[in-house]
């Protein structure tokens, strides 16, 4: 999401909240501080949401990295096992 769109959307939502609270309470000052409180709650929720998304992405990347390391180790083991199991081409099986 682009920052200007977020700011405009948040400002629009807060304006709507301020108008609704002004109409309900009948006091512009009371509506103003309640709107500021609402803005703080919105920002805290947004921050928690971003932290959640970052943590989830970090865990996803860690699991992919561990999977790649494990696959690499399995691949190395297979290559090592294959090399040990192959007989040299210049020896006959009866000479062993």
pLDDT tens readout for residues 18-41: 999 999 999 999 999 999 999 999
2-16 pLDDT tens trace: 778 888 998 999 999
List the chain domain ranges: 3-84
Cβ-defined contacts of 89-96 (< 8 Å, 24+)? none
Write out the H or E segment, with its range, that includes residue 85: helix 28-85
Average pLDDT over residues 53-82: 72
- Alpha carbon of residue 48 to chain centroid: 12
């Amino acid at each position: 999401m682009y920052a200007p769109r977020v700011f405009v959307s948040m400002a629009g939502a807060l304006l709507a909240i301020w108008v609704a609270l002004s109409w309900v309470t009948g006091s512009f000052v009371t509506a103003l501080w309640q709107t500021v409180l609402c803005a703080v709650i919105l920002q805290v929720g947004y921050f928690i949401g971003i932290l959640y998304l970052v943590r989830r992405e970090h865990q996803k990347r860690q699991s992919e990295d561990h999977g790649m390391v494990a696959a690499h180790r399995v691949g190395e083991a297979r290559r090592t096992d294959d090399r040990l199991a192959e007989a040299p081409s210049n020896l006959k099986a009866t000479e062993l």
